[in-house]
Amino acid sequence: MSQPAAAAVAAQPQGQAPAGRQGGGLGQSLAGIVRMAVFWYFASKFFGPKRAPTEPGLLMSNLFQKGEPMDMWMYLSENDKFSDFGNEDALIWHETNIPYAVWTPTSTRTHTLTYYPTEALKHNGSLYAHVYFSRSGYPVDPTDPEYEQKSAFGRTHPIVAYLRKSKAGHKKSLLGDSDESEEKLPPKENKESEDKEEGPVEYISYWKPNVTINLVDDFTRYPQNNIPPNVAPYLNVDPTTNSYYPTVFFNEFWLLRDKLTALNETVKELTLNLEVSPISMTKWQLFLQIEQSFQVHRSYGSMLEGEADELKVYGSFQLCPFRLLPFFWRYDVLYFVLCGSDVPFFCEMPSICTSNSEGFP
């Protein structure tokens, strides 16, 4: 290096990197990750394991036809298993002639009711919604003489969630405003007091005010021995025909934490909003992928409790669910580069991990 160039570098303030090198570090890292992702995608496409051709007789198909009318029953019970179909008090909702997997004015049905909780439910009890569908005119009670197994199916969904009791902590959210917590204590004192107050985790029961039942528009012929892993947990297969019933998806994507009601002695009545409607395969898979991304971040500790709700609201999913996809990509990459490296002090910097949502488009 020449003497003038060396003098220019030495003249810079101590601890400050040269402008060109500082600006290119993060950009080069991001570009490298993008190149690796693209390379992995095409490599898996062209060099991944080839699936053996499946015999036509080993393919599973949907037992119902598109547009076929269906009847629905919903029962409430404090047990996760249900067989008391003759109990009129347990039946809270019944609909007939719901067209399957088509979007018409009669495809979406709604119902609202008031539920009076029992003493058991107020003291961390459980409550389940047992939802049954059948071809119109067929019963869902297996003891009925006209019952037909391939024409009726059901799913169970918990209406009570058990979550950590909310605390007024000092943790700072990636998207939230952290001015108040910063004013109370300096970062180091804040962390020390948090450690001292750390005790046994307390879980309480919360009431879900909304139950949204989506019937997935899916008529894919799946190989019996090679069902996609993202579909397999939701596929309800009839063992006698080896075909599957319409997929029932209990959609809780927009059931945010602040909408839940804590159950205790003071609760006298609760509102329950019910809806049954169709959902496209693409939208269903999009919701599943986003929720899976949230779970991964929570397991790594890179997402605070309740931050997923902030991301949903911030992304305006009700207008366009695809708006958040670029944000998720940036969130994943930035956390991997800055907080997943061997320099953990990056995560202690307020300018990175306590950024306000205004910093994202």
Q: Residue 190: its pLDDT value, please?
A: 52
Residue with tokens 């169970």: 156
Q: Which helix H or strand E contains 29, and what residues bound it?
A: helix 19-47
pLDDT at 263 over 80: yes
Residues 146-175 as b/e (b if ≥16 CB within 10 A, e otherwise) read eeeeebbbbbbeebbbeeeeeeeebbbbbb
* CA proximity to 68, closest of 134, 148, 162: 134
CA distance 92 to 74: 6
Task: Look at residues 147, 185, 149, 148 and name the one whose alpha carbon lies nearest to residue 169.
Answer: 185
Return the amino acid letter for 199. G
User: Side chain identity at 327, as an amino acid letter?
Assistant: F
Least-confidence region, from 163-172, 233-242, 351-360? 351-360
**Distance of alpha carbon 38 from alpha carbon 361, whole angstroms:** 24
The verdict on residue 1 lying in a domain is no
Is residue 77 one of the residues assigned to a domain?
yes
Considering the chain, what percentage of its residues have pLDDT values greater than 70?
Answer: 60
- What pLDDT does 20 receive? 44
- Which tokens in the block code for residue 149? 């197994």
Instruction: Indicate whether 76 belongs to any domain.
Output: yes
Reported as a pLDDT band with limits 50, 70 and 90, residue 292 is confident
Is 23 a member of any domain?
A: no
pLDDT digits (tens, 9 = 90+) for 33-83: 545 555 554 555 455 555 555 455 589 999 999 999 999 999 999 999 999
Buried b or exposed e, range 70-108, using 16+ CB within 10 angstroms: bbbbbbbbeeeebeebeeeeeeebebeebbbbeeeeebe
Can you tell me the distance from the alpha carbon of 234 to that of 224, in angstroms, rounded to the nearest whole number? 14
Residue 94 forms part of a structural domain:
yes
Residue 326 pLDDT level (bands cut at 50, 70, 90): low
Tell me, yes or no, whether 133 lies in a domain.
yes
- How many structural domains are present in the chain? 1
In a domain, 151, yes or no: yes
Cα-only R_g, the chain? 27
Note whether residue 194 is domain-resident: no
Instruction: Name 156's bridge partners.
Output: 130
At 85 the pLDDT is 97
Domain range enclosing 143: 56-166+202-282
Q: Please report which confidence band the pLDDT of residue 291 belongs to, taking 50, 70 and 90 as the band edges.
A: confident
The total of other beta-carbon atoms located within 10 Å of residue 216's CB is: 20
The one-character DSSP state at 16 is: P
pLDDT tens-place string over residues 87-102: 999 999 999 999 999 9
* pLDDT tens per residue across span 192-250: 454 455 667 888 999 999 999 999 999 999 998 889 999 999 999 999 999 999 999 99
The tens digit of pLDDT for each residue in 154-165 reads 999 999 999 988
